[in-house]
Structure 1
Amino acid sequence: MTRLMSFVRNTSQENFSQVRFDQQLSFADAHICGLQRETLILFEIYASFADDSDPILTSLVSEVFDGMSMRLIGWCSQTLFDHERRLITGERYFGIIDSTTANRTGFYSLRNVSDRDCSILTVSFGNRTYFWPDIPARKDIVARSITEISSEKQEELSQLLDRRCLFLVDHNILLTSEPTIDNRKQQSPPNALDESAYIRNLSREFSDDERYHLWSHRFYLMHRPNALPKLLKSRTVWDYPSLIDVYGFVNAITQQRTINEIEALELLLATFPDMFIRSCAYRSFMSQIGSHDLLRYLPQLLQIMKCDYDYSSPIIEHLLEQCQRNCQLAHKFYWYLRQLILTESIHFTRYYYMFLALLYIMNDDVRVELQNEYDLCVNLKKIGWEIKESKRNRADYLSEQLKTINKDFFQSGQRSCRLPCQFGFKTNNIDVSACLIFPSYTLPMKLVFNSSSFPSEKYQALFKIGDDLRQDQIVLQLLSCMDQIWQANNFDFRLSLFDVVLTQERCGLIEMIKESETLLDIEKPLGTIKGSFGESALYDWLYKNNTTERDLDTAIDNLMYSCAGYCVATYILGIGDRHNENVMVKKSGNLFHIDFGKYLGDTQKFGWFNRDRAPFIFTKQMLYAMSYGGTSSDAMHEFVDLCCNAFTTLRQNSSLLLLLLSHLCSSNIPNLNYDAVRFVYERLAPSKSYADSITHFTDLVVDSLNSTWTRLNGFIHKMAQPFTSTNSPSSETIPSFVPSTYAITHEDKIKFAQVIDYEKRRVPVKHYLYKFKVERSSITYHYRTYNELYEFYECLIKQFPSIDFEMKMSQQTENRILAQKRLLDMNEFLKKLFTSTNEITESNIVSTFFQTDQRDQQLNDRREKNSEYPMVNNRAKIGIILKYDNGKLYVMIRHASNLPLSNGNEPRPYCKCYLIPDESKSTKRKGNIVNSRNPIFNETFTYEIDRTEIQKQVQKSFEYFMSSIRYTRKTADVLSLRFNQDSSCFICTTRDGIRVFNVEPLAQKFYLEVGHVTYAEMLYRTNLIAYVPADYGTGLASNIVNVYDNQLKTHVLELCFNTSVMSIRMSRTRLLVVLTNKIHIFSFPNQCRLLHTIETKDNPKGLCELSNNDGSIIAFPFNTKSKNGFIQLL
């Protein structure tokens, strides 16, 4: 883009209502034939002031003219060619735009049209008639093969095209800064782009030599995807002869391949004002997206139009055409245009004409419905302002006004309408009793709308006054963009997105997500200090609201995935002001964030102190919930892996995210400018390698987890707003540990209950759990703590004050003696409870307390299956990432878990890596020591090796292992030998795996490399093998039985026991696991479950035999509890 400047002056120091310049402005170096059709002429008016230190003046752009400091007080712009492509002539009058309007994006005339009292600039142009000619595009351009040039040049071109560049030109700077003029020095306002940053950005994109190199080889790069924007950017001259070549080149590319979505969005940046190029980009973009994509990109498309030379751009016609076919798109378009008419003062005319065009193409019914929506929002805004100013009871006033809306707006007018934030919901009534006012600074109103189609369906929304909701809109759109990228790469982070619509200036509707609570409300039952600094609140809440094991598993899975997604997203977008009332969790476990008033690096501060000191919100409370109350050691590693996958996926697909953000820099939204795009770009760590980016984000996760500022910030917020809640008060009296009230039925009627046992628990803290036996139509068992029973008693007293029995609560530390005493006290209480009146015993609160919950199901199921073999995988694991790129093999050791203790102490593990065979150990790489059983290493070992060499290395490694096994192993390494049931095969276990041999002919059938195995059994000639792996620490038999399917090449079953497994026996219907003094008998192989447990004499050798006739007889060592050593199985 050519920058030419000329100056006129009026040196009068007196104040006049009219200032006359009467000077001719001349651009000596500008020739008409060398100007682009989209050329603009910018007028800026500067003035000097007697008191230049006035704070109002210091915020204005400053220039130095002949040693005198002057301030910019107004500006306007004018296209040199009109819509008929004719050079403008005659006298023109321009409304001066105030200098505080910094955003000047738009390749058409910009002037003040909204203020009738604004200053007017009069300019006379010459009377010479000149038309911009039609430019014939070249038709002889032919693509050439990249192989025709040398490999060195191919590599150079590839590096230039692969370079990460930001094609971001802030049009404000384009119009106002000229670094080559020595006598002008611009001081940008705080929110404008720094001139040096602008120069650095241009210089880091392409040098002059690189531009020439790219453009001169353009014909070899025509087939290269995403190359067109960089090739056009490398073209420095855009005069008439150059455009003939450029247009022909663009036509040739569009005929040979499709310009993809990313490429088209890049060509629609302000960097490319030429309407021929923009029209090509529009056509490609519109051919690839449907109505749903238009909905997603609508905010950007409405900003892109500003850079179109004509009002009637191709995208406007396409949008209006699609609106006639898609009512949802028309609905969204309507509300976005209303928003832009309010907020875009200098582009008001363009958007107003567009708004009229949209109304014109709609039918009468749609227009009436949209007007009803708008009228409803006007009434709601009026109520909101009156609530802020009213001294009456706000809740009563809200109820009165909403009843008036129901009567006067909906019923009398017989109106119904959709909602601005939900096209699919139609209402004709507000549920007044469910509406309320949140006691926060802006006093938002919670509104509940009844459906006009389905009486039971309701829609909840927040009507908020006083905040600029455009920031929330942008953040939510970018979150949706991230979710789209993740979904395309097979990652579902289960984001909970909601809609926000600006209905009038600084007010609008926000969709509310049902069945969700803020972390503040989740923490409240534990109190201010324990809720903020404790770890159990979130897990307890999820446990309470997910009453089956399957639901709890799903909820924790949802929590882990959604938390990972939001951690990455909020970090990249720089979301600030994160505290426990801006983070919410659904009962299904999905975590999500709300209220994005601080974003793109704008942090929340207390005076000068930055309150947002953690990279993002990830607390020990969240990790505790993800690890099932601290019982899973894999949760942290799984969460880190999810975060790193989300982060690296966005890094690899960052173009769409950056382009969407770049197109919004002209939107007048606070803090959304070039610096914001640069902020997001740098948050993606473009200079880091794949391995470094994983290490970088892992460090961020650890820093966030260990940050005390997050919990302290939540504590401070809780103390500052102790009564703030997102929940309406409940009229029910139920214990805090149950999710809802359960009504009693005839079958559920409780006859009696008593405590029959107790046991000590250590997770999450040491406590005693009491077992209740409840007699209904059947016997059920329930597990409660003493504190839970006491809370039940307190709720009972509130509901039935007349009861004459009581429970006592002591603060003593619970031990076995106290637990025994409490068992007696609880049984005395239960006896009195169930001998009281039917009104009490058959009440909902009693039925609710003895309702089977998640804990009851887990403990009862465990006792049915026998708690000696919980199905838990405690084997050590290690996470490794292999990546080959540009002749290098990258081996990244991520983390390990469940490493064995060393003499009862925490191990000090480190990682080593070899490429074997490697007798000289030249490929040895060693990492750092980490003091943990579950270490995070993030060590990357790099090997420069050709891809074919890796394949040879794998083959050599295989041959090496086979040769060493066949010729160097000793018979002492054989740990067990067993024939199968028909003696057609035998199975051999060693310290490195399992071998199965055929008898006739004698030959090895297969080898399983499963490490040190002490015992194995094969089921006839089938594909099932059961074996006992050795203990990692001692080398003796472990407490684990694994079953391997050689056909599926995977383990299909794992059983864990309290003591070591001595031997195994198998038949077609049974699996026997022999322990030191017990034999467990399982159904097998279908639906493996425990059938019997037999106690035996001490049996360290695992002596046991199972007859081959379908496992009907077992022989085992004699035990006094059995009549003899032989048992017939049924």
Structure 2
Amino acid sequence: MPPGKYGMQGEWEKEGDHEIMMDFLLPTGIFLKFPVSRNDTIKTIKRMVWKNARSEALFTALGDPDAYVFTCINHTAEREELEEESRRISDVQPFMCVLRLVAREGDRVEKLTNAQISLLIGKGLHEFEVQKNHEVNEFRTKMRVFCEEKAQERQRLPWHQWMEYSFPCDLEPCCSPQCGSSRSKNTKKILINIKFEASDQDPQDPPLVLMRSALKKKATVFRSVRQEPEDYTLQVNGRWEFIYGNHPLCQFKSACVFPLQLVVQAGLFHGSELLCKVVTSSEVTVCSEPLWDQKLEFDINVADLPRMGRLCFALYAVIEKAKKPRGTKKKNKKADCPIAWVNTMVFDYKDQLKTGEFLLSTWPSVPDDKSDLLNPMGTVERNPNVDSAAGLLIRFANIRPYPLYYPPLDKVLVLKTLYQSLKCLFFVKLKEIMDNKNYTEFFEDEKELLWKLRAEVRSSYPESLSKLLLITKWNKREDVVQMVSLLRNWPDLPAIHALELLDYSFPDPAVRSFTIRCLRNLSDDELLQYLIQLVQVLKYESYLDCDLTTFLLERALSNRRIGHFLFWHLRSEIHVASVSLRFGLILEAYCRGNIHHIRLLTKQNEALAKMKSLSDFVKSGSQKMTVEDLKLCIRQESYLEALSDLLSPLNPSIILSGICADKCRFMDSKMKPLWLMYKNPGTQGDMVGIIFKNGDDLRQDMLTIQMIQLMENLWKKEGLDLRMIPYGCLSTGNKTGLIEVVKNSDTIANIQRNCSNSAATAAFNKDALLNWLKSKNPGDKLDQAIEVFTLSCAGYCVATYVLGIGDRHNDNIMIRETGQLFHIDFGHFLGNFKRKLGINRERVPFILTYDFVHVIQQGRTNNSEKFERFREYCERAYKILCRNGTLFVNLFAMMKAAGLPELTSFKDIQYLKDSLCLGKSDDEALKNFKVKFNEALRESWKTKVNWMMHSLAKDNRP
């Protein structure tokens, strides 16, 4: 039996059915002590308490058992009511072996539901309540009403529509872009006063809009910012208490003989656009209480503040470097050491210009990132870890004795009559701009032309809306009015163009509302295809209540398959502090709208928790773990029960009825993934395999496989089936997730090693692959297997080149017995190829070795016809992807919010733009691919050398 850890918590982590001595405190004042099994449920333990209490005093004072509930201090040091009585005590893991019995208060059904939701989403609902945040409270109330109404509508559905919701057909999706497409005393504190100064306004005017003062001007109505005397200003008047700690600033301070200067920088942004010049406070020497007292002016009128304007702050230290030796004329240089950043909206979630005090807990800056101190792409949420974060206190002054609001849409559109639309007839230049798919920057004359011809852009080039939005002056009220007016009558865009508008560069609520209007045309299958990205761009939303959240919840509550994957995409990142609140609230809303789904998801969550426990033990190294030890663990009652009879998180259409302990094992790679095999009643005796990984972030693999799936769908729509295998992959938590086992397959490395005498020669055995296929496909089946190999090899050659997949060795390229070749393990993409001792180990655009060619040519060197057909497959597949290049770029751009190491900015996506030849003609793109194809074939010997080195390193591994 595997040993447990020492200490109280270790008692719960031990495996087996041993007993633990528990203390029970009864409401009658009686104290009980008796042993319970780790596998006993709360309900069973309650029955045992009543049985033991019969012989004690005051037993008759106890009422019905259902009138009481156990409470404990859980392993996170919080009081927890154990309403879910089907849980085992080993799953509860109380901090001490003490349970208190108390009278149940309130609505039991409500409390039980709350307990189930808290347990399922990994976040207690009380965490939302203790925030005492009006926005959170209003969002919860609104979403609860919305989701419960959806649940009631679902109950009234005819039986066939209810079946479609509960058991959606698992059909091959159509993914064409044209288809509709009290704070700790050690806390650092920054106190800053912010004051808005507006234009003179009649105090008798009603508190309607910020624009009203501008309407009282002369005929020009809106004057430029420089013509207006009323600038947007900040009154900085604060202090920062320097606390020694682990921050890089402390290291500089202790090692530097020169005084450190502390600075606050502030910028006003609309999406990624800086609305006016960044302002910086004076330098203050770091001491126990550095002080600022100055006014910072932004060159923008208050009346021109855009609705989604956000203030971005950065705190940094200016460090003077050591002096130069005598005789040098160069002055001492200064370096900036970033300390913290924080963002906040200018308007609150009710459209009101903020007033009063706001304490913002800042986020630590990355010490090495000295280029951009401000972080407009970052969250507007506060850092929940207030005890270790610098606190920024902002005071928004009351500009008027009454609140000021951003005008509602109908009020904005009334102003349209105040402006005149300008038109030019430079349609040739306009067409040139619109036809260039790679346009990201514009000259001033091009911006002017686009703006003058905005009506023509709407009528003739509606898919180029993003270009018009990029050149809109969001700090100029008249331009905002014109753009909002245009959007009301803008034709719906297909998904390939609408998805782009969810980027953080387009935060205006009218734009996002228009985008959701377009996305409503997506079918359920199409929505599932883009769901990963739609969850990620939720991070760009400035307020909890937004159109995208409502849209996702609405569709999730109308299709259980969408709800399943929405749940897991959100649940897998609940540990991320910057989105924990938002994602937790959405998960709560979904659960309230689909109470019956909670049970199914809870079962999956319990199974994953047991998998994590098994994996942790395998990786612990406390003893030499064997496969037999793993099987012994799985055979225990608590594990068999938790790991059996659940819907697969990878695919809710698959039932994992019973785990086959005898066929389970762990793999020999670094993270020791678990290889788990299940019976599936729907496959007539055939088994289903899943791999549980613990220690790897699978989101990059998910994204890559999603792109391969999309490529396959686009090819199939053009009549080209390249027999791809986009196997299932799902991130379920912090560096944990599941991968589908592709049955009847093996790695190229294993096939080569089994056909060779040594690892050194295995990679150069060109006959190994063909001989293996012959052994698996005797007789007439061989030709079919070779054709399948040819098709799939073409597909993966193109896919891995376009996506820039790296680390391509013979252990992560596999082949099925039917001939289908496929790639696995996508830890590097977008051209991030592996290097060894500063040398690039991968020097080919994609993997096309001579043993692959040997199979394609059926083992005959003169069979050029077969190879040319393979080349045609590749070229045709590549041209189809190039025609849809914008879609791939947009989907990758939406994933910037995920925080993947190799995808953090638009610079990382440049590889994709280059590989898809965005902005080039079809002939130019095909010419470029032919060069890459010939290079891959010509330099394939380098791949074989790399494979040989990999095999030798693996064989020498201890």
Using structure 1 for the length normalisation, give the TM-score.
0.56
Distance across 2 between alignment mates of 1:158 and 1:590: 44
1:127 to 384, 392, 398: 398
- 2:579 is the alignment partner of 1:306: no
Give the counterpart of 1:90 among 338, 348, 356. 356
* Residue among 446, 464, 469 paired with 1:227: 464
State whether residues 40 and 80 of structure 1, in contact with CA within 8 Å, keep that contact through their aligned partners in structure 2. Answer: yes
| Corresponding residue for residue 336 of structure 2 | 70
Residue number in structure 2 paired with 1:747: none
- Aligned-partner Cα distance in 1 for 2:778–2:837: 45
Q: Deviations over 1:271-301 (max 9, x none)?
A: 2111111101111111x21222221111111
1:377-416 matches, within 5 Å, as: 377-388=608-619, 389-404=621-636, 407-411=637-641, 416=645
Matches of 1:285 and 1:237, distance apart in 2? 24
Decide which of 367, 370, 389 is 1:118's aligned counterpart. Answer: 389
Q: Hey, what does 1:330 align to over in structure 2?
A: 563
Aligned twin of 2:427: 154
Q: Show the counterpart of 1:797.
A: none
Is the aligned partner of 1:579 residue 2:819?
Answer: no
CA RMSD of aligned residues (A): 2.7
Q: Which residue of 2 aligns with 1:213?
A: 449
Task: State the alpha-carbon separation in 1 of the partners of residues 917 and 856 from structure 2.
Answer: 28
Could you say which residue in structure 2 is the equivalent of 1:59?
Answer: none
Q: Deviations over 1:489-529 (max 9, x none)?
A: 32222210112122232122111111111101221232135
The answer to whether the 8 A contact 2:498-2:519 is kept is: yes
Tell me, in whole angstroms, the C-alpha distance in 2 between the residues paired with 1:107 and 1:82: 17
Check 1:107–1:444 CA distance in 2 against 1; reply closer, same or farther (3 A cut): closer
With over 3 angstroms needed to count, the CA separation of the structure-2 counterparts of 1:106 and 1:703, relative to structure 1, is: closer
- 2:657 is aligned with 1:425: no
Distance 1:466 1:260 in 2: 38
- 1:489 and 2:755 equivalent? no
1: CA distance, partners of 2:795 / 2:687: 29
| Distance in 2 of aligned mates of 1:141 and 1:122 | 39
Deviations 1:1026-1072 (A, max 9, x none): xxxxxxxxxxxxxxxxxxxxxxxxxxxxxxxxxxxxxxxxxxxxxxx
Of 302, 305, 308, the match for 1:32: 302
Q: Deviations over 1:630-677 (max 9, x none)?
A: 162212211221111111221121011000000111211111022221
Give secondary structure in 2 for the equivalent of 1:496.
coil
**CA distance change for structure 1 residues 105 and 667 in 2, over 3 Å: closer, same or farther?**
farther
Residue in structure 2 matched with residue 658 of structure 1 by the alignment: 889
Bigger mean CA deviation after superposition, 446-455 or 432-441: 446-455
Q: Secondary structure at the match of 1:717?
A: helix
Match of 2:280 in 1: 7
Mapped contact 2:766–2:851 kept (Cα < 8 A): yes
Question: Superposition pairs for residues 193-204 of structure 1, below 5 Å?
Answer: none
Distance change (3 Å), C-alpha of 1:352 and 1:24? farther
Residue of structure 1 equivalent to 2:519: 285
Residue identity in the other structure for 1:233 = L
Tell me how far 1:349 sits from its aligned partner. Answer: 1.6
Q: CA deviation at 1:430?
A: 1.3
Query: For residue 218 of structure 1, what is the amino acid of its counterpart?
Result: R
Q: In structure 1, what is the equivalent of residue 109 of structure 2? A: none
Equivalent of 2:577 in 333, 336, 345: 345
Contact 1:6 1:25 in 2 (8 A): no
- SS of residue matched to 1:82: coil
AA partner of residue 580 (structure 1): N
* 1:340 counterpart SS class: coil
Q: Deviations over 1:739-773 (max 9, x none)?
A: xxxxxxxxxxxxxxxxxxxxxxxxxxxxxxxxxxx
Structure 2 SS opposite 1:666: helix
Q: d(CA) in 2 for partners of 1:499 and 1:260? A: 27
Shift of 1:451: 2.5
Are the structure 2 counterparts of residues 79 and 505 from structure 1 closer, same or farther at C-alpha, using a change threshold of 3 Å?
Answer: same
Task: Please name the residue that 1:42 is paired with.
Answer: 312
For 2:302 and 2:753, locate their aligned partners in 1 and report how far apart those are by CA, in whole Å.
72
Q: Does 1:372 align with 2:603?
A: yes
Aligned to 1:503: 732
Q: Which residue of 2 aligns with 1:691?
A: 923
Q: Deviations over 1:248-282 (max 9, x none)?
A: 2122223xxx3222221122222211111110111
SS of the residue corresponding to residue 693 of structure 2 reads strand
Cα distance 1:457–1:361, how it changes in 2: closer, same or farther (>3 A)?
farther
User: What are the Cα deviations for residues 305-360 of structure 1, in whole angstroms up to 9, with x where unaligned?
Assistant: 23333312122112212222211111111111111212x32222211211211222
**1:276 counterpart = 2:510:** yes
Q: What SS is found at the alignment partner of 1:223?
A: helix
Which digits, 9 at most, give the CA deviation of each residue in 1:1066-1125, with x for residues without a partner? xxxxxxxxxxxxxxxxxxxxxxxxxxxxxxxxxxxxxxxxxxxxxxxxxxxxxxxxxxxx
Question: Is the alpha carbon distance of 1:305 and 1:466 closer, same or farther for their aligned partners in structure 2, counting shifts above 3 Å?
Answer: closer
CA displacement, residues 921-969 of structure 1 (integer Å, 9 cap, x when unaligned): xxxxxxxxxxxxxxxxxxxxxxxxxxxxxxxxxxxxxxxxxxxxxxxxx
Aligned partners of 1:77 and 1:517: how far apart in 2? 50
Q: May I ask how many residue pairs the two structures share in their alignment?
A: 657
More strand by share: 1
SS in 2 for 1:424: coil
In 2, Cα distance between equivalents of 1:155 and 1:379: 64
Higher helix share: 2
The range that moved more, 669-678 or 713-722, is 713-722
Superposed CA offset, 1:536-584 (max 9, x none): 11111112211232x3222111111111111111111111110111100
Matched AA of 2:310: L
Question: Sequence identity, in percent?
Answer: 26
Q: Which runs of 5+ in 2 are unaligned?
A: 1-272, 324-330, 418-422
Aligned to 2:824: 594
* Residue aligning to 2:95: none
Given that 2:502 and 2:515 are in contact with CA atoms closer than 8 Å, whether structure 1 keeps it comes out as: yes
Q: Secondary structure at the match of 2:843?
A: coil
Q: What pairs with 1:515-526 in structure 2 (closer than 5 Å)?
A: 515-526=744-755
Write the distance in 1 (CA, Å) between the matches of 2:562 and 2:315: 42
Q: C-alpha distance in 2, partners of 1:681/1:414? A: 44
Aligned to 2:85: none
Structure 2 residue matching 1:509: 3-state secondary structure: strand
Residue in structure 2 matched with residue 863 of structure 1 by the alignment: none
Aligned counterpart in structure 1 of residue 775 of structure 2, from 544, 569, 576: 544
Map of 1:720 onto structure 2? 953
Letter in 2 for 1:545: K
Partner of 1:603: 833
The farther-off stretch of 572-581 and 316-325 is 316-325
Q: Which residue of 1 aligns with 2:136?
A: none
Structure 2 residue aligned with 1:755: none
Do 1:339 and 1:504's aligned partners in 2 also have CA atoms closer than 8 Å?
yes
| Equivalent residue number for residue 741 of structure 1 | none
Q: Is 1:701 aligned to residue 930 of structure 2?
A: no
Higher relative contact order (CA 8 A, sep 6+): 2
- Counterpart of 1:31, as a letter, is N
For the 8 Å contact 2:361–2:392, the answer to whether it is kept is: yes
Offset, 1:217: 1.7
Query: 1:504–1:390: structure 2 CA closer, same or farther, 3 Å change rule?
Result: farther
Residue 696 of structure 2 corresponds to which residue in structure 1?
A: 467
1:643 has 2:870 as partner: no
Q: Please give the TM-score of this superposition, normalised by the length of structure 2.
A: 0.65
SS of alignment partner, residue 663 of structure 1: helix
Letter in 2 for 1:350: R
Separation (CA, whole Å) in 2 of partners of 1:29 and 1:159: 34
2: CA distance between counterparts of 1:52 and 1:335? 52
Alignment match, 2:11: none
Is 1:476 aligned with 2:705?
A: yes
